[in-house]
Amino acid sequence: MKKLIGIIFALLSAVFLLPVAATVFRSFYSEGGFTLGGYKDLFFDCFVFYPMFWNSVLYALAITLAQIPVVILCAFGFTWAKFRGKGLIFVFYIILMMMPLQVTILPNYIGLRDMGLINTPWGIILPMIFSPFGVVVMHQYMKNTDASVIEAARLETDSVFRVILVGVVPQLRVCIFAVALFVFAECWNMVEQPMLFLSDGRLKTMSVFISEAGSYTGAVLFPAAVVFLIPVLLLYLFFSDSLEKGLALGELS
């Protein structure tokens, strides 16, 4: 039975890995043989690629670093604070998280337009900082924290921020890494926001570059797709243990 389950999971893994393997293969295959011509076209002839790549890095890092403190504070409030309507507000968070992105694009666009943030980096960064996904996930993790540690921290200080830093964050270190990885991957894969909120090509991202790869000279689509895979793949390889432990803790909650 275990062997059969192992074979089934191996087959499923192969199915999921097939598109990635095909993308890597096609990046080296052109005109009936293997070649590095696509990578030459991308790195040496398509200079618009570089600012778009670093824009993606900047947006993903900025959003991740800014969202994690917001996520921790909101999750702490939903877990430990006592106020009227807390359960109802959390239900709204879950509903908002489940909504398709297309439902929230127009309200976000109108709000950013009224604030004068369309076609600016802040138009991409600010809406993603307050995404509900990380709050909902972190709240599930935070329910497993040791209440005695938090009570001990409250005896030492009246500062909520210090209680969080001393009593909560050390218990959630693994979970924070897991949530940060999910947030980074979500931001790295943004497509609609940079396409709709940005008109200046110097501010656009790798996802936009790939969607418009047919308009550039040379066979740059598949090499760009391979480069696009690398950052998230490296993060997973470096933090795979933290991700697995975080997911296990989430299942226990």
- Which pLDDT tens digit goes with each residue over 88-99? 999 988 888 888
- Which pLDDT tens digit goes with each residue over 205-222? 998 898 887 777 768 888
The pLDDT of residue 205 is 92
Residue 116 zone, left/alpha/beta (φ > 0; ψ -120 to 50; rest): left
The pLDDT of residue 252 is 45
pTM for the complete prediction?
A: 0.85
Using DSSP's 3-state secondary structure scheme, residue 29 falls into strand
Phi, psi of 189 (to 5 degrees): -95, 10
In the chain, which stretches have pLDDT less than 50?
A: 251-253
6-16 CB burial, b ≥16 within 10 A, e <16: eeeeeeeeeee
